[in-house]
Structure 1
């Protein structure tokens, strides 16, 4: 006879209940370090909501060391309460300062707010200094669409903000003792000394990024950070109601351990006392400006660089057409690798020639043409001040016909005494190796050199043509050709 289980009641032991609870809440059982890492990807508005999960999570957001404040998330939630935009801004800053005050230490703080004036910014920086923040990212949203000349946080703030501000005003903004990373995007620096307070004494700062910031009435800026290794400066602020938001004053760098410098903007007026003796790599992308600047002073500041990437305007400054504006160029004796983006015009080619003459120890050269090379009136010639005797390899990237580059290739063959290889890569189907046959009449400066031409097809096959040139008894070049596919 079968046994009926209809009226049987199953009872769980205490251990089984605990196992069942833990299986349903595996997230809470994770180590606090892993939970902090997970929450670091959420905005602070979302982190606070985790307090509704359980009793264990009720106050967990009080101790998270990574804070991420995003006004956009805050505004999307609070406007459901029929608050105005300005009222939301006030409430957001109450939330930000409250969250900072109740916790310590803070490893990383990120803030996105489209409405931030100098007063709020200074109080925020002071709180971050007090809490010994190690990584600080501030993005105010300005500098891309508009510049906050007349914008700011409303003056009618509640008692909490007034209390925090009064606490901040007790002491001037001190230096950051633990700050290692500082990223400021779209931050508005007015005529006050806020920029000097923040940047003049950064004891352990290693990475600094200033992007699209607004500099108004600031003619001198000093950055002093003995341990700074990476400095990114996107000096491309907009013009707003007659104000020049980009920095056009004198920049003094006391960064003896800087190894990487990335700059976008007009010619930067670097102080002669700037210190970058161990600069390894730099990228300079010059933008147009109303009047030509003294590029010679900027080159003097980066004269110790080993690897350099430059834009077409940088090359143009070296041409004779800009000689009266650019000043004297100091030699780049430490430069080993040069990457050049340029147009194929007479002015740019002449600028490239002078730049190579100033790089006396160059070992590798890479040229990328920003447009289709066209026929120009420039002709190759032997120059008195030779290019580097260490230059052995040249890379050329082009999307144009090789026939327009023959004079430039001829120039390298006639003046590169140690040249061994020229690699040419084409982006479009214009490969015609027969155009190089005319080079057999070139007077080679080196004993032998090979020229390879490559074209990558859509299927991934790389078509390669290799030429070999060697110096004959008459001084002209003999040649051979090889075809290969990869």
Structure 2
């Protein structure tokens, strides 16, 4: 009796998740794919229809072997939903070069008819060409389009109407226009977004008849431009935050109410889109409300004219409180100190000034001194005697970059380990299937005459397939080992304080990699133990290979 009560109590405590309200369960399940959400319907009657009321949907072709299977699942989910429950967000991820126009149209039509507020479409390792009009919606507030070769076709009759859109993020998007008469499209590309507040363009470009990104919007508050190809103008009277990293081409910025400016333009000669030799940053008005500025500019021509350009730029930012400049820009003023010798210090409100070297060779072990001349210090600080002044050394920049490199490598390794874990289980099942066929064939061969040993070649084909799978496991393991070694090499370059913070995470990844590899090799040993004794001659050479593989992976 006591045992039954104990089991009942444990079952109740073990299923506390089912007793949670739907909105909390929805929140928990929003972090997994919709396919996995649907699979929870088999758990119990409590979970049977949870998927029909999910406010967020996450579809990925990676969860399916074929596009038809993916399409069938998407249609099943959308048609089987409880229409009394609104869909707040839909996230789509497409992998590979597959034709997805039809299913994409189906999903976008659903978005339009069900007042979805947030939509994210990601195209990985593939290419999708769609008209802008496909994304038109009266309810959409947040839209993200991203991919490596995600192309959107812009035509005269193809515009996007998004009257309620507040946030637009475009990553690796190409805008295309064939008709040279429609070049004014680039001016009004975002003009139909009356409520747009936040805009991000990352690795975007214009081709065909379009060659400029002209962003004119009266209500835009935040703008981020990363690795954008093509010049253009920014006319945004209400803009508060502007981030520009590597905008190739001449551009003029008119944002009189700007409070934060982050501008990075590392000019290299091979990217000579313009030939005046100056920074591409031009401000049409003084930034009288600017509080924070981080400016990193490398001029193609380090001459007196470039020094004059720097002075004019700094004078337009005279109200700034927190200013960060790259050392290369400041050095140009040190070389042509006569340009500032009779100029008053423009910064009356300056609270903090930081100068740092932006170009640092991580392999260069030379101790390079950071130096700013007395004349340049006077020009920058005389009007703000109480401002803090910080000079960042090359060694500090190296440490920061190595920390970032180690963190990126560890994130990459985490993804690879997760994928390796999934693939190793699938490959092991595949190898077991092949070995079962080999074993069956050996049992048959035991009963027949030696003259029928022509089947030897057939058995060897299965064995070769088996070893092909194993070799793939070894290659993947070797890749993880090389990545671990690379991370370890970066960590050794870090100061002890930084290294100590990252070491526990690195040790955890090493342990996880070792656990996965142990599991793979344990499954390999089980398969070897199952092989028929009289076929040892066929496994003699591969066993040696396995020994070598073990040495490679464990080294």
Report the TM-score range of the alignment, normalised by the length of the smaller protein: 0.5 to 0.7
The offset of 1:369, in angstroms, is 2.2
Please tell me whether residue 108 in structure 1 is matched to residue 103 in structure 2. no
SS in 2 for 1:199: coil
CA distance in 1, matches of 2:177, 2:157: 22
Q: 1:30 to 1:91 in 2, by over 3 A?
A: farther
User: How does 1:31-42 map onto structure 2 within 5 Å?
Assistant: 31-42=21-32
The offset of 1:283, in angstroms, is 0.9
Structure number with the bigger relative contact order (C-alpha 8 A, sep ≥ 6) is 1
CA distance in 1, matches of 2:323, 2:17: 51
- Paired residues in the alignment total 352
The offset of 1:207, in angstroms, is 2.2
Residue aligning to 2:242:
261
User: How does 1:24-423 map onto structure 2 within 5 Å?
Assistant: 26-50=16-40, 60-71=50-61, 73-74=62-63, 76-78=64-66, 89-90=100-101, 92-93=103-104, 96-97=107-108, 100=111, 104-114=114-124, 115-120=126-131, 122-126=132-136, 129-130=137-138, 132-142=139-149, 173-177=160-164, 179-191=165-177, 199-216=190-207, 217-236=209-228, 246-248=229-231, 250-256=232-238, 258-266=239-247, 269-271=250-252, 274=254, 276-288=255-267, 289-290=271-272, 291-292=274-275, 295=279, 298-300=282-284, 303-304=287-288, 305-313=290-298, 320=304, 322=306, 329=313, 331-343=316-328, 346-347=331-332, 349-350=334-335, 357-359=345-347, 361-370=349-358, 371=360, 374=368, 380-381=374-375, 387-392=381-386, 393-399=388-394
Contact persistence 1:312–1:341 (CA under 8 A): yes
Contact persistence 1:70–1:113 (CA under 8 A): no
CA distance in 1, matches of 2:373, 2:171: 46
CA distance in 1, matches of 2:302, 2:321: 19
Q: Which has the higher helix share?
A: 2
Structure 1, residues 118-160: CA drift from partner, whole Å, max 9, x if none?
525x24421xx23x12222221223xxxxx6xx789xxxxxxx
CA distance in 1, matches of 2:27, 2:217: 29
Q: 1:172 to 1:386 in 2, by over 3 A?
A: closer
Listed as ranges, the gaps of 5+ residues in structure 1 are 12-16, 143-147, 154-168, 237-245, 401-424, 429-455, 461-486
Structure 1, residues 339-376: CA drift from partner, whole Å, max 9, x if none?
12224995364489859955454332101124467589
Contact persistence 2:206–2:212 (CA under 8 A): no
The offset of 1:93, in angstroms, is 2.0
Contact persistence 1:279–1:302 (CA under 8 A): no
CA distance in 1, matches of 2:355, 2:112: 53
SS in 1 for 2:65: helix
Contact persistence 2:356–2:392 (CA under 8 A): yes
Contact persistence 1:280–1:307 (CA under 8 A): yes
Please tell me whether residue 458 in structure 1 is matched to residue 465 in structure 2. no
Contact persistence 1:186–1:213 (CA under 8 A): yes
Contact persistence 2:279–2:297 (CA under 8 A): no
The offset of 1:20, in angstroms, is 10
Contact persistence 2:140–2:162 (CA under 8 A): no
Contact persistence 1:343–1:373 (CA under 8 A): no
SS in 1 for 2:24: helix
Q: 1:280 to 1:344 in 2, by over 3 A?
A: closer
CA distance in 2, matches of 1:388, 1:347: 19
Structure 1, residues 202-255: CA drift from partner, whole Å, max 9, x if none?
33333221111122243443434444332111034xxxxxxxxx122x223224
CA distance in 1, matches of 2:367, 2:251: 34
CA distance in 2, matches of 1:213, 1:286: 16
CA distance in 2, matches of 1:87, 1:346: 52
Q: 1:196 to 1:322 in 2, by over 3 A?
A: closer
Contact persistence 1:200–1:222 (CA under 8 A): no
Structure 1, residues 373-432: CA drift from partner, whole Å, max 9, x if none?
7589996558996754114321111147xxxxxxxxxxxxxxxxxxxxxxxx8989xxxx
Q: 1:100 to 1:80 in 2, by over 3 A?
A: closer
Instruction: Give TM-score, length-normalised by structure 2.
Output: 0.51
Contact persistence 1:69–1:110 (CA under 8 A): no
SS in 1 for 2:306: helix
Q: 1:378 to 1:101 in 2, by over 3 A?
A: closer
Contact persistence 1:265–1:285 (CA under 8 A): yes
Q: 1:226 to 1:66 in 2, by over 3 A?
A: farther
